[in-house]
Structure 1
Amino acid sequence: MYCEKKKLKSGQVRWECMEDGPPNPATGKRKQIKRRAKTQREAKQRVQKAIQSLQDDGIDERLGARMLFEDAAKHWLSVYSMTGVKRNTVRIREKEIAILNRYIAKTPIGNVTPAMYQKILNDLSPSYARTTVQGVNTSAGMIFRQAMKDKIIKENPTEHVVVPKKRQTVEDIEIEEVMEKYLEHNELEEFLNAVRQYGLDLDIERFYLLAYSGMRSGEACALKWSDISFEDNTIRITKTLYNENNNMKKYEITPPKTKGSIRTIHMEPEIMNLLHLHKKRQMKIKLKVGHLLEDYHDADFVFCRENGYPFAPSNILKRMDRLLTKTSIDKHATPHIFRHTMISMMAEAKIDVATIMERVGHEDINTTMKIYTHVTNKMKEDASDKVRNLYGNALEKINLN
């Protein structure tokens, strides 16, 4: 150990002792540990205590007291991005980090306390949906766990915190009615009538497919003709299309949302016939203009522009918004509503839950069961009404006096 006297800017004199600490487990390099005190003995003791602490748990608390949260978050995100997660998931994490940075970007990560972090969640709760706050908490937890792995903090301040639960108002409950999540028979029929009457190119094919398949719009956009078997009337779903900036040439084909989303579905012959006719028209267009275009994108997409590039899911959403204005439907409907509509249709057809989940590619039973239970309960109520209509005369003759 090397020790010497140092004169500070304040004019005071202090002993400074220095010794090599234990090697960094990641790099193998040793870091010099320096400590100051009024006496040489005290300075030596501080160095020895710091080295002992590093040897015991490898935590470099001084680094944790210097590294800003925003830098630690950036480091974690770079590691997380290389784990094979989808670009859309990374984009969501970036937004969640941006929310956290509003509060603690310039705070050293080692200085973030459980109380400080709980206050952040409490502050976010009134302004954001609980799922968003939960997402922020998940990202924060992974950032702090990475810092623990990097040996710069001892504890994770996100452990044991409470994600506030909003108290629902009557309006919230009404908005979240299960019936808002799917289209009733008459609503689906009205929408498809509007598709046939006012639809633009590919609207009929895409919206009928979404309505009767239960697939996600990103899955529909990623479909290739090799995924479709006209002999078996089946469609194989193995991928989804992601396009962050809606630039037709900068799309990404990624694995579907979950492992359970990889599936083969049997389709009604009428839908397959629509697709077969569409394929014939597409081939004619390709033969007519494909050779004239310098950058024709020959990638076998089912739904593509004349230049071969696939449409983004946002295109389907815009088309749906346009068609909804031609109907009396006042629900907040996006293409995702067709998935829930498919669940309701299959529930009404008395198809078991496992088969329904396989059809729509659900791994979480909660969403499926909410709609399934609602529809089947409604069927029981309707059955009671039908009995009353058939045998109403006999019921009316009951004399309770």
Structure 2
Amino acid sequence: MQGGVRKRGKRWYYYFDVGTIGGKRKKIERVGGDTKAEALKALRKAITKYEYGYVEPENMTVEKYFVDWLENFIKANRKINTYNRYKSIINNSITPNIGGIKLSNLKPIHIENLLLEEKKKGLSGSTLQNIYVVMNSALNRAVKLQILYNNPCQHVERPKREKFVASTLTIDEFHQILNSLNEDKYNDYIFSFILKIVLETGLRRGELAGLEWENIDLDNNILTIKNNLVYSHGKVYLDTPKTEEGERTLYFSDTIKQLFKKHKEIQDKNKEKYGQYYIKNIFNNRECDFIITWENGKYLHPSYYTKRFNRILKKLDLNEKVRFHDLRHTNASFLLSLGVDFKTIQERLGHSDINTTLNIYSHVSMEMQKEAVNKLNKTLLGGKSVAK
């Protein structure tokens, strides 16, 4: 593609020929800068943009683009809770700070200032990183669609998350919680059942809430995770697990098998007791045969798991920083302390990346290292100390 620069008045212009359009030769000419060098640089950049099919959006603001990305791409390709989370970030952080800027004029300084302003509100590093991730993802797609030449997020330092240290329960604390429940009362019984299942399997709240009887193989002690019952923006949805790795198969003990069998008997008796008034749970246009239900058959709201667990901790004066979700971490920590390898734990928890597992449980890993070194020391030195 041919082009050049020339001086007109006090400024330098670049131009290049784009061929014949509609039977006429077409030439593009723009201001390139105050010097010949600036104009030549602008010429090279303009030709590259044109050859790669870049089309500069006319009057498209950041807000308009992000809303379009959210409604037409994210909503169709991501889970509903992801859509709602992204929508909240766009409405609360992105639009108020840079929504009025033309997308073609968006620069790294705008993104950096946005993150600084949000940081002034006291937002955590994790929250700031989430904002950055949403912007980066949206702008990467703009580049793919050739409405942006490059992604300004690439020139902004990604905020760092605070190091996460998992909170866990001790075995004694867990038994203290179980002992506080009166299993003669259905509400206490079902929560005791939930706690025992989660501590062995490490299931997420939504995975357990969405578990159906067809997902359980009692002959082979296997359960399959296919559902995720989630609460997002005032509504409960039945979705698939959050990642492909979340769809997994887990082995459970004979102890848990007996719990499932007992619970099936109790649930069947409740169906007879309530008869036509036994509630049917309809999601995605089908009746779901949930394992975890109230006595009348209705599913347990995902928020209940968290609220009930918090009330128990407060009543027993236990560590209130431990969340229901931390029962997963308790499960993993117990497995690690028993010598189970990280890969097995990753697969059981449904982590898509083993680094997630390694990072969360690094504190347990250090204890394992200490034990390994002590064993090695005893082997190499016959239990004798090298110190004098």
Tell me the TM-score range normalised by the shorter chain.
Answer: 0.7 to 0.9
1:185 counterpart = 2:171: yes
Letter of the structure 2 residue corresponding to residue 363 of structure 1: S
Letter of the structure 1 residue corresponding to residue 221 of structure 2: N
Mapped contact 2:228–2:240 kept (Cα < 8 A): yes
Structure 1 residue 165 displacement after superposition: 4.2
Aligned match for 1:279, one of 264, 278, 299? 264
1:110 counterpart = 2:104: yes
What is the TM-score with the length of structure 1 in the denominator? 0.72
Aligned residue for 1:253, secondary structure, equals strand
Match of 2:35 in 1: none
Alpha-carbon spacing, 1:190–1:109, altered in 2? closer, same or farther (3 Å): same
Aligned residue for 1:285, secondary structure, equals helix
Letter of the structure 2 residue corresponding to residue 210 of structure 1: V
* C-alpha distance in structure 1 between counterparts of 2:248 and 2:324, whole Å: 19
Structure 1 residue 185 displacement after superposition: 2.4
Match of 1:314 in 2: 303
Alpha-carbon spacing, 1:295–1:206, altered in 2? closer, same or farther (3 Å): closer
Structure 1 residue 288 displacement after superposition: 2.6
Question: Which residues of 2 match residues 256-275 of structure 1 at below 5 A?
Answer: 256-275=241-260
Question: Which residues of 2 match residues 91-110 of structure 1 at below 5 A?
Answer: 91-98=84-91, 99-110=93-104
* C-alpha distance in structure 2 between counterparts of 1:150 and 1:301, whole Å: 43
1:233 counterpart = 2:233: no
Structure 1 residue 239 displacement after superposition: 2.0
Mapped contact 1:299–1:308 kept (Cα < 8 A): no
* C-alpha distance in structure 1 between counterparts of 2:248 and 2:52, whole Å: 47
1:125 counterpart = 2:119: yes
User: 1:146-194: per-residue Cα shift (whole Å, max 9, x none)?
Assistant: 433444433322122112448x7xxxx8xx5x4x522122222222222
User: 1:184-219: per-residue Cα shift (whole Å, max 9, x none)?
Assistant: 222222222224579635111111111111010100
Alpha-carbon spacing, 1:296–1:327, altered in 2? closer, same or farther (3 Å): closer
* C-alpha distance in structure 2 between counterparts of 1:142 and 1:282, whole Å: 46
Letter of the structure 2 residue corresponding to residue 326 of structure 1: K
Match of 1:389 in 2: none
* C-alpha distance in structure 1 between counterparts of 2:212 and 2:106, whole Å: 49
User: 1:276-320: per-residue Cα shift (whole Å, max 9, x none)?
Assistant: 212111112212324246867552110124554422221111110
Match of 1:18 in 2: none
Letter of the structure 1 residue corresponding to residue 337 of structure 2: E
Alpha-carbon spacing, 1:107–1:290, altered in 2? closer, same or farther (3 Å): farther
* C-alpha distance in structure 2 between counterparts of 1:302 and 1:75, whole Å: 39
Structure 1 residue 245 displacement after superposition: 4.7
What is the TM-score with the length of structure 2 in the denominator? 0.74
* More moved, 259-268 vs 216-225: 259-268
Question: Which residues of 2 match residues 124-143 of structure 1 at below 5 A?
Answer: 124-126=118-120, 127-143=122-138
Alpha-carbon spacing, 1:67–1:371, altered in 2? closer, same or farther (3 Å): closer
Question: Which residues of 2 match residues 155-234 of structure 1 at below 5 A?
Answer: 155-165=150-160, 178=165, 181-196=167-182, 200-234=188-222
* C-alpha distance in structure 1 between counterparts of 2:107 and 2:135, whole Å: 13
Alpha-carbon spacing, 1:271–1:196, altered in 2? closer, same or farther (3 Å): farther
User: 1:61-103: per-residue Cα shift (whole Å, max 9, x none)?
Assistant: 3x44x11211111111123235431111111111221211110
* C-alpha distance in structure 2 between counterparts of 1:288 and 1:124, whole Å: 55
**Bigger Rg over Cα:** 1
Aligned residue for 1:202, secondary structure, equals helix
* C-alpha distance in structure 2 between counterparts of 1:285 and 1:342, whole Å: 31
Letter of the structure 2 residue corresponding to residue 255 of structure 1: T
Structure 1 residue 264 displacement after superposition: 1.8
* C-alpha distance in structure 2 between counterparts of 1:150 and 1:377, whole Å: 46
Mapped contact 1:296–1:307 kept (Cα < 8 A): no
Mapped contact 1:59–1:153 kept (Cα < 8 A): yes
Alpha-carbon spacing, 1:381–1:112, altered in 2? closer, same or farther (3 Å): closer
1:84 counterpart = 2:77: yes
Q: How many residues align?
A: 333
Match of 2:333 in 1: 344
Show structure 1 runs of 5+ residues with no match: 1-20, 24-32, 36-48, 386-394
Letter of the structure 2 residue corresponding to residue 321 of structure 1: N
Question: Which residues of 2 match residues 234-383 of structure 1 at below 5 A?
Answer: 234-245=222-233, 247=235, 251-292=236-277, 298-306=287-295, 308-370=297-359, 372-375=361-364, 377-378=366-367
Mapped contact 2:181–2:189 kept (Cα < 8 A): no
Residue identity over aligned pairs, in percent, reads 27
* C-alpha distance in structure 1 between counterparts of 2:114 and 2:256, whole Å: 50
* C-alpha distance in structure 1 between counterparts of 2:116 and 2:281, whole Å: 53
